[in-house]
């Protein structure tokens, strides 16, 4: 049985507001029998900040993502101050190679790949996730 441990960043979690069921879609697209979804506490903090912002687009998306996290995602406590999301994610992922990072952020994706971290991204033109 193939288990995929996936570490979601903010951009990936915002996809749920577009109707993407991350659990089902990642399992299907990555050919995993089972997926475990994780995110970092700094990502949750970033989502909370977005949810309380005045952005007409981002605030509702972030609220939806937070609801999804509460029901479907395990939150890893890093004990790091908010505002350092990408740095903490890079550090955590490189220290824990059993995770596959899910991100739509091109810059983050390139950095992670250079460090040898497995990365998955969303291809909107194909409506699917694939290994970057």
Domain boundaries, the chain: 3-131
61 compared with 124, residue with greater pLDDT: 61
DSSP letter at 53 equals: S
CA distances from 71 to 13, 37, 64, 67, 68 (A): 13, 11, 11, 7, 5
Structure tokens at 115: 């460090």
Fold of 3-131: Rossmann fold (3.40.50)
Residue 132: band (very low, low, confident or very high) from pLDDT cuts 50, 70, 90: confident
Prediction pTM value = 0.93
pLDDT at 12: 97
Residue 60 scores a pLDDT above 70: yes
Q: Render pLDDT for 20-32 as a digit per residue (tens, 0 to 9).
A: 999 999 999 999 9
How large a percentage of the chain has pLDDT more than 90?
A: 80
Does 83 have pLDDT greater than 90?
no
């Amino acid at each position: 049985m193939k288990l995929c441990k996936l570490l979601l960043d903010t951009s990936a979690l915002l996809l749920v507001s577009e109707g993407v069921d991350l659990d089902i879609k990642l399992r299907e697209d990555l050919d995993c029998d089972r997926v475990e979804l994780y995110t970092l506490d700094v990502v949750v903090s970033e989502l909370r900040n977005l949810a309380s912002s005045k952005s007409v687009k981002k605030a509702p998306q972030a609220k939806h993502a937070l609801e999804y996290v509460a029901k479907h995602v395990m939150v890893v406590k890093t004990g790091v101050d908010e505002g350092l999301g990408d740095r903490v994610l890079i550090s955590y992922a490189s220290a824990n190679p059993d995770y596959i990072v899910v991100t739509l952020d091109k810059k983050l994706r390139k950095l992670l790949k250079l460090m040898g971290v497995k990365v998955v991204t969303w291809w909107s033109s194909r409506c699917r996730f694939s290994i970057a």
